Structure 1
């Protein structure tokens, strides 16, 4: 007799669905004949409905997870697939984010139909992005540009660009790779100038704490390397009280010798003031390393750094 399907919760954007299908396909391949049937359940979130305002004004990145997490808590789905960079560090009681797929490319890209690079944009050109981090990084490098809030899924942002609403936009290379849209990339931005958001490029899987059946399934596709890096990055973000109201970048890498390297950056929304730092240590100390670097950056910024610059 066929068992009940394992229900995978996801947002309904093309990228979210591509990520959910990747998780399903990896589970089916890893489990082989023992794989249960899977059902993808699309859940519309507040973040998908509110498109006329910056997320920083209406509740932050949790707007992309609230309804999905409610379904998870209620038992309407068995686990949820997320872009890790959309996940707040504080999860609802009883939920965990501790399974990850192998990480994609973490870099940002510049896209324009008329200009070959960010450096080539003329003064006063308009760059559209929904990310406060990207806005701040653009202004840090090119204070002569106009940066505007630019919401919507990948395809709608590309359509707006084609229609001339902005001169250029910035997106994550990982998402374009997963959608097979690499051909739209004009310039891959160097990590030195554009360090990524915490969790960028990593698909995270959220589940109920103590659900041993689901955790046993997810263990078959979990990438420990990515898990260690995300533990460090999310600990950094947590120490900074980070949300999408705050321009923060963080990127961890794990060397073949087991050494974890973590870089962190905080900026004011106008990009005029920035503090960064680096730490290295054992993979086993990932969370402590992240917390320590976060505390150091917070000290560098001073008590008013975040309070004085609400996500403008």
Structure 2
């Protein structure tokens, strides 16, 4: 596919999404491409007050952008990689994975408390099953509340009394310039494994798009891409999506890959965690997934699917 005029970059309309999209657009302009940024309203924004567990779509953040790509309305779409399902619509590929920012989660509270420092029975806000499960596994006394909205909205709701603390991706805080302004504690992987792909951006195009190669050359970061595809191989082998309690973190160093992964029950009572090492992203991810399934993680995932069906 080719288009005359500027390349049209599609994005969601949140402040964070626009910061991410404009950062990619600037890199493309720096190599001589003319780029127009266009906002596409997605399912998550069309149903802003509906809990994500109720919407329960793997493509809740991406569907309308995929449709715009397939219809030729946009040339590329920029997503937070953690929101992109492991199975893409036919004809769409991930042309580039950006250099990963800190993949950690951050626990935001007025006192900048850690998980163990929260008071007994504290209310922690998150819409993520992965975060919920890991919090409750460590602190079963916590109460989990669901707050939706952009980063600023969620922080404001927390400060207005909706919760005592809030879990956010640290990369989002940093991209918005809030890392030094919002009191928080970084949750390392020993406390909370991040979402698959968290901290990286994904740039989607049509497989046959004329600009695919140029976009990749300008935006792709190979170590981050290797880490992303290792984590996504694990998630794909688990037959999971964005709405399952799976955490993963791949570290790529000196030609090798070390992957940590976990599957937890939504109430945190059961948690299966392990690690694997190797050199091939797909092999390492799938091998660790099979190990987790063999230890009992499949029972958790089967129960979640049964409830949803």
Note if contact 1:100-1:227 (Cα within 8 Å) is conserved in structure 2: yes
Q: What is the CA deviation profile of residues 84-123 of structure 1, one whole-angstrom value per residue up to 9, with x for unaligned ones?
A: 0001101100001141111000111111124633222211
Correspondence for 1:210: 208
Over the residues paired in the alignment, what is the CA RMSD in angstroms? 1.6
CA contact (8 A) 2:238 2:293 kept: yes
**1:70 Cα deviation (Å)?**
0.2
Q: Give the distance between the partners of 1:10 and 1:36, measured in 2 at CA.
A: 18
Q: Residue 78 of structure 2: SS of its match in structure 1?
A: strand
Residues 10-25 of structure 1 aligned to structure 2 (within 5 Å): 10-25=11-26
Check if 1:124 corresponds to 2:125: no
Residue 50 of structure 1 deviates from its aligned partner by 1.7
Matched residue, 1:271? 268
Counterparts in 2 of 1:123 and 1:287: CA distance versus 1, 3 Å: same
Counterpart contact for 2:111–2:183, Cα < 8 Å: no
Shift of 1:61: 3.5
Among 247, 250, 259, the alignment partner of 1:249 is: 247
Give the conservation status (yes or no) of the 8 Å contact 2:257–2:277. yes
CA contact (8 A) 2:96 2:204 kept: yes
- Give yes or no for contact 2:95–2:216 (8 Å, CA) kept in 1: no
Q: Which residue is equivalent to 2:188? A: 190
Q: 1:277 to 1:5 in 2, by over 3 A?
A: same
CA contact (8 A) 1:107 1:189 kept: yes
Deviations along 1:62-81, one digit per CA (max 9) or x if unpaired, are 11101110000000000000
Deviation at 1:130, TM superposition (A): 1.2
Match of 1:291 among 262, 267, 286: 286
Separation in 2, partners of 1:49, 1:114: 34
Deviation at 1:11, TM superposition (A): 0.1
What does residue 296 of structure 2 align with? 301
Aligned-residue offset at 1:153: 1.1
TM-score by length of 1: 0.93
In the TM superposition, 1:98-113 aligns within 5 A as 98-113=95-110
- Picking from 27, 33, 36, the partner of 2:33 is 36
Instruction: Output the CA distance in 2 between the equivalents of 1:102 and 1:26.
Output: 12
Secondary structure of the residue aligned to 1:62 is coil
Unaligned runs of 5+ residues in structure 2 are none
1:47: which partner in 2?
Answer: 44
8 A Cα contact 2:96 2:215, kept in partner = no
**SS, match of residue 60 in structure 1:** coil
1:188 Cα shift? 1.0
Between the two proteins, the alignment pairs up a number of residues equal to 303
Mapped partners of 1:231, 1:69: distance in 2: 20
Q: Deviations over 1:204-248 (max 9, x none)?
A: 101101223233233222111111111111010000111233200
**Does structure 2 conserve the Cα–Cα contact (< 8 Å) formed by 1:78 and 1:214?**
no
Unaligned 5+ runs, structure 1: none
Query: Any runs of at least 4 consecutive aligned residues in structure 1 with deviations exceeding 6 A, and if so which?
Result: none
TM-score between both structures, scaled by the size of structure 2: 0.94
Instruction: Name the residue aligned to 1:9.
Output: 10
- Give per-residue Cα distances to partners, 1:170-198, cap 9 Å, x unaligned: 10110010000012032111211111100
